[in-house]
Amino acid sequence: MKALILILLLMPFMVLAEEDIATLRSADISIEPDAPRMGNEENKDMKRKRNYPMQPPTIPHKVSGYRIDLNSNKCLSCHSRRQVTDSQAPMISVTHYMDRDGNFLAEVSPRRYFCNQCHVLQKEVKPLVGNYFEDIDTVLKNKK
């Protein structure tokens, strides 16, 4: 009973709070808004500079239709240690062959298997939100 009264009392504030919530869906729930156009995947095969040394490198090529599942991993068919002679693709880093205790494994570590958890492709689109990230070189330069 007490809880119900509390909820009733708080109701006006809850409605207010709801209006403040930022949302990507800028339309009423009953309306199906037009989806934004899909951007083109970057396919230049040119490495991008990393913003910080530990950043997972971005994918500079198309990956549509690349399957990563229990049966197969399309990325590894070029980027695994075994395949780089044929593909001349960059080999995935040695950390991917290590378990979390630092022991080296024969195959890619299961915790590194799902490439697109960290490595993402890039699209030619206008960013939805601003970004004020500065890399370390800029920070050091501005400090002087």
Is residue 67 near another protein by the rule CB under 8 A?
yes
Residue 108 CB coordination number (10 Å)? 19
Give residue for tokens 């230049």. Answer: 44
To the nearest whole angstrom, how small is the minimum distance from the Cβ of residue 62 to another protein? 7
Site for another protein in 95-114 (CB under 8 A): none
Composition of the chain by helix, strand, coil, percent to 5:
30, 5, 65
Is residue 19 near another protein by the rule CB under 8 A?
no
DSSP state at residue 30: T
Residue with Cβ nearer another protein (20 or 86): 86
Contacts with another protein by CB under 8 A lie at 43, 45, 61-62, 65, 67, 69-74, 76-77, 83, 86, 88
